[in-house]
Amino acid sequence: MDEKISTLTPVSPAKSALPYGVIFGAIMVLEFVIMQALKPDPKEFGWIGIVTNLLNFIVLPTLFIALACVNFKNKLNGGYITLSQSLKIGVTASAIAGLVYAIFYFIYYLMFPEFIAETIEQMKIITIQQNPTMPAEQLEMTLMFMEKTMMPYYAGPISILMYTFIGLIISLIVGAIVKKENPGAF
């Protein structure tokens, strides 16, 4: 009788999304710390930025959303998951990851505010090398815009929104693959 009652009790998708979102956010924080510690030369190691972006925007969200959905389906919900539950899990996990990263970014900025100026200086060198005919006014405007968007009060909310949107798209795909409707549900 207890088994039957436990399968009828609704389980929140957030229960599955929370730990995977925190782990995803922690991995992004770890990547950021490693990149800041190593400070790879973007001219020489430009591929590192490409790999990091592929990991953060495609591979890791897909992995953690899929893991969270499968965990919810198999361990928390008796082998069933709907598309809407997959969406809730994916969006929640991604938003939590974005929030963890945004909080860390804000704290890091408070501790080391000079990192933005250093990054802007590297971007200036690269931009001049890639486009030597760019007018000085345009270069300064571009760098000023980049500096403003790197500030935590812009970067934090933007990263949360961006990861939430990415989570929505990926959870639609993952949800379509893993969904299994409960025939006895209302």
Tens-digit pLDDT profile for residues 160-180:
999 999 999 999 999 999 998
Q: Percentage of the chain with pLDDT > 70?
A: 93
Residue 181 makes CB contacts below 8 A (sequence gap 6+) with: 80, 82
pLDDT of residue 4: 45
pTM: predicted TM-score of the whole model, two decimal places: 0.86
Model confidence over 46-86: pLDDT tens digits? Answer: 788 889 999 999 999 999 999 999 999 998 888 889 999 99
Model confidence over 139-168: pLDDT tens digits? Answer: 889 889 988 999 999 999 999 999 999 999
**127 confidence band (pLDDT: 50, 70, 90):** confident
pLDDT of residue 9: 61
With beta carbons less than 8 A apart as the criterion, state whether 93 and 22 touch.
no
